[in-house]
Amino acid sequence: MVHATWIGTPNYEPGRCGQKVDHITLHIMAGFLAGTDATFQDPNRKTSATYGIGSNGAIHQYVRETDTPWSDGDWLANATGISIEHEGGLPQARCTRACMDASAELCADIARRHGWKKLVHDGLNGNIYLHREIPGTDHTTCPDLAPNGLDWRYVVNKANQILAGNTSAPSTPTTIEKEKTMGTTHIVFGVSGSQHIYIANLLAGTYQRVPSMDTLKTRLYILKKAGCNVKSWYECNKDAKGAGKGRSGYGDVALKDLPAFGLELK
């Protein structure tokens, strides 16, 4: 069974309202996994999904499959569906191959447990829904028509190959274990000459500006809860000559030097 880190949400309906699960709805986050975690944990937002997948292939679970997520903008689709959000959907947020491979494995796992021998997209007649196809939704680009959208055909084809026993996507536990064992994979740092704070994901090879200290606290809490390794740039380099905490308190880096670390802006 595919491993998912439990995050939880107050935004769901207990049970399935007498309905039977008959499909998976695919979504794109239009953002990042940490932001989706925070959004779904906010009761005022009144939105959720069953699962969310990050750019490194990590899977987070918010709602049990036996309960109803608030994801599709349609009561029946919610009550009969398992929804999966994918990181991406913005110019600065990529939907990566690792994310899609993890999604394929998750979809295949769900299919096996529900007795579906094959995943089929056929509008609302198959067992794979695209969010934009559900009547009444205003998410007209979700999941595939947004910038850096989900290649749902890749996901469905790979999931069906896994179901047929022809191939296997990289397992999510392996991805998570890699992140846990390769040392510090998330580094918090400031930028020289400013108060801006960033988080670098070394596994994904990207970094992202954090808009506020409250957002930073939320993301650090979620990352640590998920078992990720997080350190400040100062902690990683405090023994180096001239290293200091800088104005940010996390250790300052010149933004122009980041490409030297193999990082790109998300």
Q: Which of 230, 225, 228, 186 is nearest to 208 (CA)?
A: 186
Statement: the pTM of the whole predicted model exceeds 0.75: no
Looking at residue 252, its pLDDT comes to 82
Domain 5-163 = CATH 3.40.80.10: yes
In this prediction, residue 248 has a pLDDT band, given cuts at 50, 70 and 90, of confident
d(CA 178, CA 196): 29
Residues of the chain with CATH 3.40.80.10: 5-163
Q: How many Cβ atoms are within 10 Å of 258's Cβ, its own excluded?
A: 17
pLDDT digits (tens, 9 = 90+) for 9-37: 999 999 999 999 999 999 999 999 999 99
Looking at residue 124, its pLDDT comes to 87
In this prediction, residue 257 has a pLDDT band, given cuts at 50, 70 and 90, of low
Q: How many Cβ atoms are within 10 Å of 260's Cβ, its own excluded?
A: 8
Q: What secondary structure letter does DSSP report for 154? A: H
Residues 6+ apart with CB under 8 A from 131: 25, 26, 27, 28, 71, 72, 73, 137, 139, 142, 143
Higher pLDDT pick, 40 / 91 = 40
d(CA 84, CA 76): 16
pLDDT digits (tens, 9 = 90+) for 167-226: 544 443 333 343 333 345 688 888 877 778 888 776 556 677 788 888 888 878 777 776
Assigned token pair, 171: 């397992």
pLDDT digits (tens, 9 = 90+) for 63-96: 999 999 999 999 999 999 999 999 999 988 889 9
